[in-house]
Structure 1
Amino acid sequence: MATTTAPARRRPAQALRRAPKPRHIVGTVAKIVLALVFVLPIVFMFVSSLKPDAQIFSDLGSINAFLPTGHISFANYAGVFDRVPIVTFLMNSVGISAATVILGLLVNSLAAFALSRMRLRGKKIILTAIIATLIVPFETLALPLVWWVNQLPWLQVNGFSLALTHGWLDTYRVQIIPFIANAFSVYLFHQYFDSIPKELDEAARMDGAGWFQIYRTIIMPLSGPAIATVAILTFLPAWNSYLWPIMVVQSENLRPVMVGVEYFYQLNVAWGQIMAYTTLITLPILVLFIAFQRSFVNSIASTGVKG
């Protein structure tokens, strides 16, 4: 009897321990609500891109706004390609964003490496000054920056000759170079580099490695989460850039995707086509985030613990 009743007595206690606690239930509900807050606008955007304008407004007061019901078609997507040179805009944004990310990773990681690993006088003051620039909004700097980029020289290639010209307006470089260096990216790299043991540097230095070799072969290979995070945080503003291209780019063949939204407000507003256009330009961002989601979360967590 003892051997048969012992497990029976343990079952109620185990059931009590396995029963979900009220705070766990509240936390799960809160997560579901928060997920819906972020997901439902995307669902509404995609579903509305399949509907005509009249049906979009008629469905706003019901759950049908989030369901692909009624007259569903891809006519809005066809209208996007007829109204906007979206392929040109997408290629421009891909090139601008990719160049900004690649150059930004190199420049910001080198700056953070110097401030984190090398012995420099006043490096804390330098880091503080870099972080302090985050206080200044871009709108405050936009007009002075336009004046400066219009004065900067550039070597223009004409056949087999080089000519020195002034002014970067209406070019690709004016959409890339001013945004390579980023204070927040330097801070993220600096915090992550500080979490890597400096004994690795000392061992490499004893083996005759230089600083750049340490950066290239030791620090950067160990900084995958930080690289993914900085890549995402650099890609997003580059892809979503709107105000700056409006100010410095006039040629249609140089414009990024966000400027294309203006085309749908000319003459008559086509809301279904706007939803289709925003769906097309949102997909690369979702793919990028899903691909680097784990590295992004890990880097933010490690930075928060360190900082």
Structure 2
Amino acid sequence: MNQKQKNMTKTVLFYAGNAVVALIFISPLLWMISASLKPESQIFSGMNSIKTFIPLGASLKNYVEVFTRIAMMKYIVRSLIYVFIIIVLDLFVNSICGYALAKFDFVGKELLLTIVISLMVLPMESIMLPLYKQVADFGWVNQYAGLIVPFIAKCFSIYMFRQFFVDIPNELLEAASIDGSGPIKTFFNIVVPISGTVYATIFILDFVAHWNDFMWPMLVVTSEDMRTIQLAIQTFFGTKPINYGSIMASLTVSAVPMLIMFVALQKYYVEGIASTGIKG
């Protein structure tokens, strides 16, 4: 076997292995979609064979039930609004903080960066109760402020932005300063336009985290008018009779915005993870 054949064999094995791993990872998603199209009696049949992924007798009955049983579009729109508000504020506030830590010198800068990195390891569960008490004291329970304000500043986002901005050449910023551009103008006119990858990365991570969030909305939302998409889906689990076809259909519907967003931004996401991950 010559070198060309060896390289071809390695390439085929590489892509074949990736395809197998990809199928393993997306198999739950494929099963969920298949189950959402099946009659209730067929959802858990043939679980030990490939037939479980084939929606025999497929219909949209479960999806019709989802949109007639609850006001699904209302929950989707409401969730999109509050999630996008969080994302916009996150990108604005934390990018400025990350830029300051990357390019400005001030007293306590290293200590502040150390604190940011240290706080990244704290799980949400460890601060959820005191955070809820603070939100309740402010009167933000069952208010959009309670859903949004606690998640504007994020240590992880600050660190990601800082890691990306560190590698922007100082000469570029100095040239802008010589041309009469102040720090704020330089940031918005020069730094932001060339930082699309890290913004897209934070956008995706934020969207997935808050779109799928169930615990915090469950704590601060007490009325029907404030329910998010994940709380709405819980209706199908807690109301009898439990129809697993409707559950799978509702989960599939809730996954669509994430899939659309990720497909549209995946190129920038991969580039952003790669670029921020190799900098010190």
Q: Shared topology, TM-score over 0.5?
A: yes
How far 1:58 sits from its partner (Å)? Answer: 1.3
Instruction: Give distance in 2, aligned partners of 1:120 and 1:292.
Output: 35
Instruction: Give distance in 2, aligned partners of 1:278 and 1:85.
Output: 14
Is the counterpart of residue 122 in structure 1 residue 108 in structure 2?
Answer: yes
Q: Which of 3, 21, 41 is matched with 1:34 structurally?
A: 21
Q: How does 1:6-85 map to 2 (within 5 A)?
A: 16-21=2-7, 23-69=10-56, 71-85=57-71
Asked if the contact 1:107/1:180 (under 8 Å) is kept, the reply is yes
Q: How does 1:285-300 map to 2 (within 5 A)?
A: 285-300=258-273
Asked if the contact 1:88/1:253 (under 8 Å) is kept, the reply is no
Q: Which of 216, 231, 236 is matched with 1:244 structurally?
A: 216
Is the counterpart of residue 227 in structure 1 residue 199 in structure 2?
Answer: yes
How far 1:24 sits from its partner (Å)? Answer: 4.0
Q: In the alignment, what sits opposite 2:119?
A: 133
Instruction: Give distance in 1, aligned partners of 2:149 and 2:94.
Output: 13
User: 2:272 is matched by which residue type in structure 1?
Assistant: S
Q: How does 1:175-190 map to 2 (within 5 A)?
A: 175-190=147-162
Q: Which of 238, 256, 260 is matched with 1:283 structurally?
A: 256
Give structure 1 regions of 4+ aligned residues with deviation exceeding 6 angstroms.
Answer: none
Is the counterpart of residue 302 in structure 1 residue 264 in structure 2?
Answer: no
Instruction: Give distance in 1, aligned partners of 2:142 and 2:214.
Output: 14
Is the counterpart of residue 212 in structure 1 residue 198 in structure 2?
Answer: no
Deviation sequence 1:46-72 (CA, Å, 0-9, x none): 111011121011132221111122x21
Asked if the contact 1:189/1:226 (under 8 Å) is kept, the reply is yes
Q: In the alignment, what sits opposite 1:193?
A: 165
Q: In the alignment, what sits opposite 1:157?
A: none
TM-score, normalised on structure 2? 0.95
Q: In the alignment, what sits opposite 2:94?
A: 108
List alignment gaps of at least 5 residues for structure 2: none
How far 1:37 sits from its partner (Å)? Answer: 1.6
Deviation sequence 1:200-230 (CA, Å, 0-9, x none): 1111122221111111011111101001001
List alignment gaps of at least 5 residues for structure 1: 1-14, 153-166
Q: In the alignment, what sits opposite 1:148?
A: 134
How far 1:23 sits from its partner (Å)? Answer: 4.7
Moved more, 227-236 or 257-266: 257-266
Q: How many percent identity over aligned positions?
A: 37
How far 1:91 sits from its partner (Å)? Answer: 1.1
Instruction: Give distance in 1, aligned partners of 2:59 and 2:12.
Output: 40
RMSD (Å), alpha carbons: 1.4
Asked if the contact 1:50/1:272 (under 8 Å) is kept, the reply is yes
TM-score, normalised on structure 1? 0.87
Aligned residues: 278
User: 1:109 is matched by which residue type in structure 2?
Assistant: S
Q: In the alignment, what sits opposite 1:86?
A: 72
Asked if the contact 1:232/1:288 (under 8 Å) is kept, the reply is yes
Q: In the alignment, what sits opposite 1:261?
A: 233
User: 2:49 is matched by which residue type in structure 1?
Assistant: S
1:306 counterpart SS class: coil
Instruction: Give distance in 1, aligned partners of 2:277 and 2:217.
Output: 34
